[in-house]
């Protein structure tokens, strides 16, 4: 998958909702995303560029309303301070294309204690069998 480099390329590649979330730092409504309850084995990739972000092995049910992971694939995400909406949070961005994925919090399970709270529209799921 070729990585979009200009906002025009992102607009052509992404749906309007994906563009709003990933390029304009929006958030999908709680419990609305297709991956909130998904528990199949596989990989979660960036919907904009295909960068591998998370393994289903790190996904867990946090009941926060968005897909949650306790760890990201090494080198796949970067972090940025986010003081929008009167809050102090840590934004999670794709290292490959810089798209907004969600936020990370320090209230997750072991072994990391992290909760990567990620918008479903920012993800594409790739099923992987153990056979």
pLDDT digits (tens, 9 = 90+) for 10-68: 999 999 999 999 999 999 999 999 999 999 999 999 999 999 999 999 999 999 999 99
> Which residue among 46, 49, 97, 117 is the active-site one?
117
pLDDT at 85: 86
| Residue 88 belongs to some domain of the structure | yes
Q: What is the mean pLDDT of the chain?
A: 95
| Residue found under tokens 């390029």 | 23
What's the predicted TM-score (pTM) here? 0.94
pLDDT at 129 over 80: no
Residue 24 lies in a domain: yes
Mean pLDDT of 115-128: 97
pLDDT at residue 1 tops 80: no
Whether the ω angle into residue 108 lies within 30 degrees of 0, i.e. cis, is no
| 51 located within any domain | yes
In a domain, 2, yes or no: no
C-alpha distances (whole Å) from 103 to each of 26, 55, 69 are 11, 17, 11
What CATH number is associated with residue 105?
2.170.150.20
Domain, as residue range, for 108: 7-127
Number of domains in the chain: 1
Query: How much is the pLDDT for 37?
Result: 94
Kindly tell me if the per-residue pLDDT of 122 is higher than 60: yes
Q: Does 117 participate in catalysis according to the annotation? A: yes
Report residue 130's pLDDT band, with 50, 70 and 90 as the boundaries: low
Using H for helix, E for strand and C for coil, what is the string for the chain? CCCCCCHHHHHHHCCHHHHHHHCCCCCCCCCCCCCCCCCCCEEEEECCCCCEEEEHHHEECCCCCCCEECCCCCCCEEEEEECHHHCCEEEEEECCCCCEEEEEECCCCCCCCCEEEECHHHEEEEECCCC
On whether residue 29 sits in a domain, the answer given is yes
Does residue 101 sit within a domain? Answer: yes
4/100: higher pLDDT: 100
Tokens 């297709």 belong to: 34
Q: What is the mean pLDDT of residues 60-86?
A: 96
């Amino acid at each position: 998958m070729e990585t979009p480099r200009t906002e025009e390329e992102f607009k052509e590649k992404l749906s309007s909702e994906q563009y709003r979330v990933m390029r304009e730092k929006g958030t999908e409504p709680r419990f609305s995303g297709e991956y909130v309850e998904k528990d199949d084995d596989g990989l979660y990739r960036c919907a904009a560029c295909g960068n591998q972000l998370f393994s289903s092995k790190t996904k867990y049910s946090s009941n926060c309303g968005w897909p949650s992971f306790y760890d990201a694939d090494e080198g796949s995400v970067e972090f940025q301070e986010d003081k929008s909406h009167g809050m102090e949070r840590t934004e999670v961005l794709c290292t490959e294309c810089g798209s907004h994925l969600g936020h990370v919090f320090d209230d997750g399970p072991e072994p990391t204690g992290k909760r990567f709270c990620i918008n479903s529209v920012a993800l594409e799921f790739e099923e992987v069998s153990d056979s």
